[in-house]
Amino acid sequence: MEQKLNWGLLSTAKINQALIKPLNASKRTRLLAVASRSQSSADEYARENKIPRAHGSYEALLADPEIDVIYNSLPNHLHAEWTIKALRAGKHVLCEKPLALTLPEVDAMIAASKETGKILAEAFMYRHHAQTLKAKEIVDSGVLGKLQLIKGAFTFTLTREGNYRFVKEMGGGSIWDVGCYPISYARMIIGEEPVEVFGWQVEGGGGSDDSFIGQMRFANGVHAQFDSGFKSPLRSHIEIVGSDAVLKIPAPFKPRAKSELYLAREDAEEKIKISGTELYLGEVEDMCDAILLNKPPRISLEDSRGNIAAILAFIESAAKKTPILL
């Protein structure tokens, strides 16, 4: 019988709901525990979600000897601190995006993973979906011709007053929350890091950006453009432009189990149907493969570091109002 990995949720964040279903569905995982900052909060959450154990502190969860894997869904500014603590407590960690807010933090997390021999991966769920893998396959096949431009957007209206996403010191801002997706997507498709970025932001009340507009230049001559925001209607798309054809992806970051891509050549447009799995199951199974089968995680830590480096360069560019070379 294949080994089951016991998982613990580090916090009672809303995003946990996306992971609870696949953790219960996978044959290789068992959702064993949740931790909160108080025992009463943990007890209530565990009862509502049918989780066997409730820990009244984050430290208590890390000290639980039966927990194999931690899902770190804490606010962005706490990712590095608690991921490193979890790794040093002997746990593997799936950490929500963004992995961290500074490159020294990312490097410390990578070092802790190497020192402890424990798996650390960033939770970019879309990267594991069949739709994303198919889009990459189409681009790599050469059917688009010479790659020229990638355009993307991810916006929604955030109305929750006091949400940490509005607070700069907590890793708030649309570029960290949703702009990271089109940046990641473009880097994944092109297979290189940008050599230059330029960004503009509309600053919100908490010092973070309410909206961000950016463009990237890559050494191979490809360019990428994106916008992200908290004050616009829900928008989510990617367009990949080549010299011979255009690939349109209507729902790139949260694809459904059955989705569609559109390949346009001149006046003809081909619909490509994709059958995948539940969106968040892929990152769960990828962690299981890495831990149980010694496979490298699909999203390498070097890849995650590259995304953080690009985001930080965009933020610097917006502050200085000048292009930034990487």
pLDDT in tens, 179-204: 999 999 999 999 999 999 999 999 99
**CATH 3.30.360.10 spans which residues of the chain?**
127-279
The pLDDT value given to residue 3: 87
Domain with residues 127-279, CATH architecture = 2-Layer Sandwich (3.30)
More confident residue, 161 or 60: 60
Summary mean pLDDT of the chain: 96
Give the mean model confidence (pLDDT) for residues 11-31.
97
In contact, 4 and 291? CB cutoff 8 Å: no
In terms of DSSP H, where are the helices of 92-241? 103-116, 130-141, 174, 180-190
Proportion of the chain above pLDDT 90, given as a percent = 93
Residue 276 has pLDDT above 90, yes or no: no
Q: What is the pLDDT of residue 70?
A: 98
Q: What is the pLDDT of residue 205?
A: 82
Q: What is the pTM of this model?
A: 0.97
Question: Is the sign of the CA dihedral 283, 288, 294, 295 positive or negative?
Answer: negative
Q: How far is CA 295 from the centre of its chain?
A: 20
The predicted-structure confidence for 236-245, as pLDDT tens digits, reads as follows 999 999 999 9
Q: Where in the chain is the domain with CATH 3.40.50.720?
A: 5-123
- pLDDT score, position 251: 96
Quote the CA–CA distance of 171 and 84 in Å, as a whole number.
18
CATH number at 5-123: 3.40.50.720
Contact 290, 297 (CB under 8 A): yes
pLDDT of residue 77: 97
How does pLDDT run across 248-267, given as a tens digit for each residue? 999 999 999 899 999 999 88
- Whether 117 contacts 92, CB under 8 Å: no
Q: Which contiguous run of DSSP H or E holds residue 235?
A: strand 231-242
